[in-house]
């Protein structure tokens, strides 16, 4: 007799939990749809470890969230960064007046994440990220900190090889990855602050 051998994976529990950012993966520009219209957005995936919430094997739960790298006031990225880091998390380029942000400062950074059940899916997802109240200590992370970038000059093939296949496939579908694999003769941008996130 055949039996279904797909195992249910343990989902991070719902609620508000202490967390630390342990991983950021730049997956490049991704095509999609919103309200029936095509979209194209540079995206990154941020992963947190929940040091006080453990799985059956004793390891801490982890949970991730996809972000479009847009710095508008209504963007999910802006909302979470402001609630996590404060009112002015961005750097403003004096010449172009454009906002930029160095995501590596988030690695190892403590916070609180609120996890909810995504409506109709049964899957748990990060709804919001906020700062940790004064005086509350967050244990150091168990998992190694990891950052992967598709910006020119920052691509690391060894890191790419260590990324889960699901994310590798998304990265390989991006124009940024195509440019790294087959670089054009175009000059690099003079103002690196214009490169998102």
pLDDT tens by residue, 81-92: 999 998 888 888
Say if 3 falls within a structural domain.
no
Say if 7 falls within a structural domain.
no
Say if 119 falls within a structural domain.
yes
Give the E-state strand segments of 12-94 in sequence order: 15-34, 37-54, 60-68, 91-92
For residue 133, report the phi and psi dihedrals to the nearest 5 degrees: -60, 150
What is d(CA 108, CA 144) in angstroms, rounded to the nearest whole number? Answer: 9
Pairing of strands 110-117, 15-34: antiparallel
More confident residue, 28 or 86: 28
pLDDT tens string 37-81: 888 999 999 999 999 999 999 999 999 999 999 998 899 999 999
Q: Where residue 96 falls among pLDDT bands split at 50, 70, 90? A: confident
At 196, list the tokens: 């998102």
Say if 10 falls within a structural domain.
no
Taking a C-beta distance cutoff of 8 angstroms, is the pair 109, 116 a contact? Answer: no
pLDDT tens string 141-154: 999 999 999 998 99
At 114, list the tokens: 């609120």
Q: Where residue 195 falls among pLDDT bands split at 50, 70, 90? A: very low
Reply yes or no on whether the pLDDT at 197 is more than 70. no
Please give the tally of structural domains in the chain: 1
Say if 8 falls within a structural domain.
no
What is d(CA 167, CA 173) in angstroms, rounded to the nearest whole number? Answer: 10
87: burial class by Cβ within 10 Å (0-12, 13-18, 19+)?
exposed
Residues spanned by the domain of 85: 15-182+189-194
Reply yes or no on whether the pLDDT at 1 is more than 70. no
Reply yes or no on whether the pLDDT at 6 is more than 90. no
Q: What is the mean pLDDT of residues 3-9?
A: 56
pLDDT tens string 111-148: 999 999 998 888 999 999 999 999 999 999 999 999 99
Say if 56 falls within a structural domain.
yes
Say if 157 falls within a structural domain.
yes
Look over the chain and give the mean of its residue pLDDT values, rounded to a whole number: 90
pTM value is: 0.87
Say if 4 falls within a structural domain.
no
């Amino acid at each position: 007799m055949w039996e279904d051998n797909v195992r249910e994976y343990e989902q991070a529990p719902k609620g508000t939990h202490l967390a630390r950012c342990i991983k950021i993966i730049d997956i490049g520009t991704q095509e999609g749809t919103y309200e029936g219209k095509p979209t194209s957005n540079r995206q990154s995936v941020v992963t947190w470890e929940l040091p006080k919430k453990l799985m059956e094997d004793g390891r801490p739960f982890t949970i991730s969230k996809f972000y479009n790298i847009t710095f508008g006031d209504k963007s999910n990225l802006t909302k979470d960064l402001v609630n996590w880091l404060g009112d002015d998390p961005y750097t403003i380029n004096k010449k172009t007046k454009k906002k930029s942000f160095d995501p590596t400062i988030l690695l190892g950074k403590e916070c609180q994440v609120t996890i909810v059940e995504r409506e109709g899916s049964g899957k748990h997802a990060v709804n919001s990220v906020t700062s940790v109240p004064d005086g509350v200590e967050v244990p150091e992370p168990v998992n190694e900190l990891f950052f992967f970038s598709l910006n020119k000059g920052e691509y690391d093939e060894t890191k790419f090889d260590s990324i889960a296949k699901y994310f590798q496939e998304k990265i390989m579908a991006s124009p940024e990855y195509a440019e790294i694999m087959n670089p054009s003769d175009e000059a690099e941008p003079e103002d690196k602050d214009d490169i998102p996130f």
